[in-house]
Structure 1
Amino acid sequence: MSTWTLPPTVAAHLPTGLLIGGAWRPATGGGTFPVADPATGETLFDVADATAQDGLDALAAADAALPAWRAVAPRERAELLRAVFETLTAHSDDFAALITAEGGKPLTESRAEVAYAADYVRWYSEQAVRINGLTRTAPSGANRQLVLRRPVGPALLITPWNFPIAMITRKVAPALAAGCTVVIKPAGLTPLTTALFAEAVRRRLEDRGLPTGIINVVPTSSSSAVTEPLLADPRLRKLSFTGSTEVGRVLLRGAAQGVLRTSMELGGNAPFLVFDDADVDAAVQGAMAAKMRNAGQTCVAANRFLVHESVADEFAEGLTAAFDRLVVGHGAREGTTVGPLIEKKAVDRVEEVVAEAVDGGARVTIGGDRPRGAGYFYSPTVLTDVDPDARAVREEIFGPVAPVVTFTDDDEALALANGTEFGLVAYAYTRDIDRAFRVAEEVEAGMVGINRGMVSDASAPFGGVKSSGLGREGGEAGIEEYLDSVYVAL
């Protein structure tokens, strides 16, 4: 166990096995792998290490439970999800403590993530009874047309480590609301929160006499060993993945053989545009929200700060002062505002990116180093005079580093913003409504924040364009990803 001990209510009831067919069990062969506290590097728990056979067993359980689950009345599915929402809310401190333990983020951020995750469950509990079909007379008048909606089938949900409960609920809730069953492959770095959530769902299902095999969890140290056989199995009908574009491309190739329905929320390289008429103080506040959640380890983190040359110095000074007020430390420690990065190689990569930017002429106004001591920390860093072709601008940093690049006019700003293969989210600060609409219409991103540094909302569609993904999660669109349309000609 880590030197920071989880609350007894969490540690005593935390499953560390595989959830298959409504029961927790060890992995085939009994293999395990460690889950560490990134703030100390010490092991929290050893978790069952699923094999290919375990993955196929989980799919078999999901497939067997599908007929009974899709026959459950929409109202009953809605009430099940409402009960899960209430469980998350009632035990939010326990979930937050676990998120901080295995992911490192400050407790205040972990609590906010639990609330955000619960919103998805509540939203889709409400959407479960609003799955619409269609009936009308054909234009020729020769017959009537009916469009029925039915669940796609068993779904494989692959989630990342950086939001271990929000990314789960964003997928599980619409899948269950639609009548699908699921196999969850959580990130190997943060599988514990998934286990606690899945157990909460299992208990609520058991309480209501509903099929517990609808939710299955297979943590593993070798993702490909488990996912490749699943993608090749004809019983699987849906794949939803959140993670890197590189891995997403591999999964898409695997999904092609079964022509699976796919949802892909992939990498980002979000521009944060500050125009010459912006409220610079507000832009700095928005930059902190857009950049520093989870120490910059989010797919929607602002990655490139594109600032008009007339306000660049003022913005950089304000951002540097705001970074200077941040407190780096263990996420469970009171007053901490920036936790660790997830693992050592993440710190190594951020250090390399900053060093390359400095070698290319960038100036460090604050940070630029790794604090001494245990854990995987990197100091919050602001870089100015950054070359637009620097790696820190071209690649997703996934760390607490803010590179500032200047522009001279709106055309250059948009060219810089769109000069990437990614298009997940963009942020812009301006007082000019015409400029705001131009940005919204011309920036190549699936989401745009105007004069705000946060865009995520359970009731809104979340997703990107270009190499940032396919499909949408959240909002009305999220449940559509788990439904087929069936046209009936009468």
Structure 2
Amino acid sequence: MALHLAPGTAWADTLARAVAAAPEAFDRTTDGHVTLRNLAEGEWRSIGTPSAVRTPVDNTVLARLSRVDAGTARSAVAAAATAHRAWAATPLAERKSRVAAALDELTAHRDTLALLLVWEIGKPWRLACADVDRALDGVRWYLDQIDRQLAARDPLPGPVSNIASWNYPMSVLVHAELVQLLAGNAVIAKTPSQGGAACLTLAHAVMHRAGLPATLLSGGGEELSEVLVRASEIGAVAFVGGRSNGGKVAAALLDTDKRHMIEQEGLNAWGIWNFSRWDTLAAHLRKGFEYGKQRCTAYPRFVVQRELVDAFLDVYLPVIRSVRFGHPSPSTPPGGPATHCPSSTSAR
């Protein structure tokens, strides 16, 4: 069946919307390509070595990402530490006002942020909307609660370095940064190597315009990890990602007293034995595919009690046959989803 993208949702249209919303964060080269800038030392900078960003949808080049080296990252961390000291002394009321302003503008760009995720990481449209909404709704909750949460608590001694996986750029990475900013900490984020760079560029442009001390760097994990994890100016490290890289981060912190939060994800297995609630299992299986296999609970392996294999297959195979594969973007016709995120798609 032929693919019919909804009007205005093709990549060229989506990227044009992002560039129009935050022209300071993008470079357009003479050959027509768009290169994403790095947010470092308080401004968007054309630094680093450009490399192609490809979509998992069909492997075409979406844009170019400028990857910085360790020396550039070190200068950015030093500048972030200076910004952190000023931000930590900023009254909470002012911090709340700026974060609220960022939330308002991010909300205005919800559709664009979600469409960027569709193309950059192949996240289905409805789930891309949910990723954006979880970030915005979650931070709004913190805005209401932050006064009591910060009672008798001070900001960290330096900025928080955020290294996160690619599958939830908004609801994991941006959400965490905005809460850290509320708490009086400057933030540094590394763009995930596997996707989400344009979405994060637009989101950080909004944060920067609101006067929030955020740094966004792109580059290889091996080269930047020493700086973003071990630099003396870093007040804390927040890592979300695979077990291998998480283990390396943990090892790098062993001889330090640096605060850290490490969530190591992996592809786990379901264990099924002494089981009879097959209708419940069918619903879980469908949910795994609903998320485009982009969550850590969308397990790809099953360890099944030998006596239950036939019953398991009677449930599993029909679910697999019912799964529809196709382009993750809003499509029309027939019966395609709306081309605007619904008023609320976040899970509560």
C-alpha change, 1:81 and 1:315, in structure 2 (3 Å) is: farther
Cα deviation code 1:314-366 (max 9, x no counterpart) = 44323322222222122125289xxxxxxxxxxxxxxxxxxxxxxxxxxxxxx
Check conservation: 1:162, 1:294, Cα contact below 8 A: no
Which residue pairs with 2:337 in the alignment?
none
The CA distance in 2 between the partners of 1:168 and 1:335, in whole Å, is 31
Cα deviation for residue 98 of structure 1 reads 0.2
C-alpha change, 1:334 and 1:327, in structure 2 (3 Å) is: farther
Which residue pairs with 1:216 in the alignment?
215
Which residue pairs with 2:58 in the alignment?
40
Which residue pairs with 1:295 in the alignment?
292
Report matched runs for 1:198-213 at 5 Å: 198-205=204-211, 212=212
Which residue pairs with 1:24 in the alignment?
44
SS at match of 2:99: helix
Cα deviation code 1:228-259 (max 9, x no counterpart) = 13433211121111111111111122223432
TM-score, normalised relative to structure 2: 0.81
Percent identity of equivalent pairs: 25
Check conservation: 1:79, 1:125, Cα contact below 8 A: no
Which residue pairs with 1:244 in the alignment?
242
Cα deviation code 1:432-456 (max 9, x no counterpart) = xxxxxxxxxxxxxxxxxxxxxxxx9
Residue 168 (structure 1) aligned with residue 176 (structure 2)? no
Cα deviation for residue 149 of structure 1 reads 1.5
Cα deviation for residue 195 of structure 1 reads 0.9
Q: Which has the larger radius of gyration?
A: 1
Cα deviation for residue 58 of structure 1 reads 1.7
The CA distance in 2 between the partners of 1:318 and 1:86, in whole Å, is 45
Structure showing the higher helix proportion among its residues: 2
Check conservation: 1:327, 1:335, Cα contact below 8 A: no
Which amino acid in 2 is paired with 1:234? S
Which residue pairs with 2:229 in the alignment?
231
The CA distance in 2 between the partners of 1:251 and 1:306, in whole Å, is 31
Residue 104 (structure 1) aligned with residue 104 (structure 2)? no
1:157 to 133, 153, 162: 162
C-alpha change, 1:132 and 1:104, in structure 2 (3 Å) is: closer
Cα deviation code 1:150-200 (max 9, x no counterpart) = 112211101111112222124202211211111111112222211111111
Calculate the aligned-residue CA RMSD, in Å.
2.7
Aligned pair count reads 313
Cα deviation for residue 53 of structure 1 reads 2.0
Unpaired runs of 5+ residues, structure 1, are 134-147, 206-211, 337-455, 459-490
Check conservation: 1:6, 1:98, Cα contact below 8 A: no
Which residue pairs with 2:331 in the alignment?
334
The CA distance in 1 between the partners of 2:323 and 2:94, in whole Å, is 46
Which residue pairs with 1:196 in the alignment?
202
2:317 to 316, 320, 332: 320
Report matched runs for 1:421-460 at 5 Å: none
Unpaired runs of 5+ residues, structure 2, are 1-8, 26-35, 334-345
Which amino acid in 2 is paired with 1:58? A
Which residue pairs with 2:284 in the alignment?
286
Check conservation: 1:77, 1:177, Cα contact below 8 A: yes
Which amino acid in 2 is paired with 1:26? S
Check conservation: 1:81, 1:124, Cα contact below 8 A: no
SS at match of 1:295: coil
TM-score, normalised relative to structure 1: 0.59
Residue 71 (structure 1) aligned with residue 89 (structure 2)? yes
C-alpha change, 1:229 and 1:22, in structure 2 (3 Å) is: closer
SS at match of 1:19: strand
Check conservation: 2:123, 2:294, Cα contact below 8 A: no
Cα deviation for residue 94 of structure 1 reads 0.5
C-alpha change, 1:300 and 1:76, in structure 2 (3 Å) is: farther
Check conservation: 2:38, 2:216, Cα contact below 8 A: yes
The CA distance in 2 between the partners of 1:127 and 1:55, in whole Å, is 34
